[in-house]
Structure 1
Amino acid sequence: MSTAQVAAIDTSDAVVIQPIGAFEQHGAHLPLDTDALVAETVAARARALLADDANVWLLPTLRYGKSNEHAGRAGTVTLGASTLLALLHDVGESVAASGFRKLVFVNAHGGQPQLLEMVARDIRAATGLEVFAVSAMHLGEPAGMRWDDEGYSIHGGQSETSVVMAIDESLVDLEVADADGVALGELFAGYRHLTLEGAVPTAWLTNDVSVSGVIGDPRRASAEIGARVLEHWATALSEALLEIKSFSWPALR
């Protein structure tokens, strides 16, 4: 689009989507830009489910993220927390300067949802934008979905591998895929409150829980499973986008 085309958009109810992922190791069988690819696909498919005149717009995908839990593994490129916060804040200010009022971060990297929620509030305070941080993996799963590595597939496992296979099966090499990662149930057995990412989360690095970098079991992944998950995520996001489009804070003063 040209600057003139963007200037012609009715910004009163327009929604701008910023997909964001990461560039990090996902084991030997998945590409480094897995998270960016997933965020981009979910955002694009959600937009495609809406009417042509929905007034929802996609920005170019941010393909780097905060991936320091994978730092040191070949190919990983990570931004520091302060760098990513500054980058996203600048994006928000730019979106606001173009006259838009609503910004949605669509994320597919598990290492940065909390950071996105923080910067969303900072952008809101600085610009007046209504900002929403959405992580694809928090949109739930299709009814009846059962994973072979349930509660364990948090990085490069069956679920994530299946989703990438549904996007482009040629990107996945199941011949070199293998299961890895400590048994989280055993690791936290006997602890009442401690979990990896629960009510009392334990800060962790990939080296704490995996030798290969995979945390889960990708060997039973399939494009069919991934397609079901992608459809669920895209549908949920499209519904959320319509809610975001209609939402406004009450005028309290």
Structure 2
Amino acid sequence: MTHLLAHLSTAAVEAIDKTDAVVVQPIGAVEQHGAHLPLITDALTAERISDLAIRSLPADSNVWQLPTLAYGKSTEHLGRAGTVALSAATLMATCLDLGRSLAASGFRKLVFVNGHGGQPSLLDVVARDIRVETGLEVFPMMPGRFGLPEGITQVDEHYGIHGGQIETSIVWALAPELVRMDLAVRDGEAVGALYAGSRHLTLEGTVPTAWVTDDLSVSGVIGDATAANQEDGRRIVEHQTRCLAETLLEIRDFAFPELKG
């Protein structure tokens, strides 16, 4: 039986046991990732990692995957050819509508598997809005936050946030036909110097900066894509897949207590 919810009939969805069913909504972005990676990078990784994780679960796990929401809040990349971005308001309204629709079908648990680093804060906010309005338990998460498997060193750790070593390695493993390593570059190294004299300001940390790509990079890459390794990418994909699969089962078995009398 398929785990793809949209491949089922309405009668088949009606028959799903909603008491512990988990619905996974991959969310990505269509945005520039330098000359070597496809625009679909974030949506592709969210979709593929979700699919691999759910396929690895027992058939009766009751975890379902929705079609990927490919577009995201990518306004930081506007002006770079091919970037197609939603506003924050549009993305949040879309996610709220998704939650309303799932609640109307009787589902109780929704997971946003997000592949784009520019929108976690938005998904955190809308997740709570969905919870308040519909009662759904909502879990916004990013596979990249599971960290790296042992033995992989990120050479661009202090500035590699977009199209660099790790992201390139992952896409190289998932869709090698879409990667142009002959066009890979290292860019954005000046980020370190930019914050060298700051005690509290950071690129993304204690006091983050509302940057756009043109503030940090000429090529659109912020990281060292030349350090990417396809085998490292496979190991990272396996690690993220395993961690996501474990998380989905934890979500299935999770429930808030009834505290109100």
TM-score, normalisation: structure 1 = 0.98
2:151 equivalent in structure 1: 144
Task: Give the Cα separation in 2 of the matches to 1:199 and 1:153.
Answer: 17
Is residue 2:72 matched to residue 1:53? no
Is residue 2:224 matched to residue 1:213? no
Alignment of 1:144-223 (within 5 A): 144-223=151-230
Gaps of 5+ in 1: none
Report the 3-state secondary structure (helix = DSSP H, G, I; strand = E; otherwise coil) of the residue aligned with 2:92.
Answer: helix
2:11 partner letter: A
Report the 3-state secondary structure (helix = DSSP H, G, I; strand = E; otherwise coil) of the residue aligned with 2:139.
Answer: strand
Gaps of 5+ in 2: 1-7
Q: Measure how far apart 1:146 and its partner are.
A: 0.2
Task: Give the Cα separation in 2 of the matches to 1:119 and 1:197.
Answer: 21
1:238 equivalent in structure 2: 245
Is residue 2:128 matched to residue 1:121? yes
Is residue 2:66 matched to residue 1:66? no
Q: Can you list the C-alpha shifts for 1:126-148, whole angstroms capped at 9, x where unaligned?
A: 00000000112112111232022
Q: Can you list the C-alpha shifts for 1:187-232, whole angstroms capped at 9, x where unaligned?
A: 1112111100001101100000001100011112121011111111
2:97 partner letter: D
Task: Give the Cα separation in 2 of the matches to 1:99 and 1:248.
Answer: 16
Q: Which moved more, 1:21-30 or 1:139-148?
A: 139-148
2:5 equivalent in structure 1: none
Report the 3-state secondary structure (helix = DSSP H, G, I; strand = E; otherwise coil) of the residue aligned with 1:35.
Answer: helix
Task: Give the Cα separation in 1 of the matches to 2:155 and 2:208.
Answer: 24
1:229 equivalent in structure 2: 236
Give 1:249's match in structure 2, choosing from 235, 256, 259: 256
Task: Give the Cα separation in 2 of the matches to 1:205 and 1:198.
Answer: 16
Task: Give the Cα separation in 2 of the matches to 1:108 and 1:185.
Answer: 24
1:86 equivalent in structure 2: 93
Is residue 2:108 matched to residue 1:108? no
Task: Give the Cα separation in 2 of the matches to 1:43 and 1:224.
Answer: 20
Q: Measure how far apart 1:153 and its partner are.
A: 1.5
Q: Measure how far apart 1:21 and its partner are.
A: 0.2
Report the 3-state secondary structure (helix = DSSP H, G, I; strand = E; otherwise coil) of the residue aligned with 1:133.
Answer: strand
- RMSD of the alignment, in Å? 0.8
Runs of 4+ in 1 over 4 A off after TM superposition: none
Task: Give the Cα separation in 2 of the matches to 1:139 and 1:105.
Answer: 15
Report the 3-state secondary structure (helix = DSSP H, G, I; strand = E; otherwise coil) of the residue aligned with 2:64.
Answer: strand
Report the 3-state secondary structure (helix = DSSP H, G, I; strand = E; otherwise coil) of the residue aligned with 1:111.
Answer: coil
Q: Measure how far apart 1:176 and its partner are.
A: 1.2
Q: Measure how far apart 1:182 and its partner are.
A: 3.8
Task: Give the Cα separation in 2 of the matches to 1:86 and 1:148.
Answer: 38
1:77 equivalent in structure 2: 84
Q: Measure how far apart 1:151 and its partner are.
A: 2.1
Q: Measure how far apart 1:149 and its partner are.
A: 1.9
Report the 3-state secondary structure (helix = DSSP H, G, I; strand = E; otherwise coil) of the residue aligned with 2:124.
Answer: helix
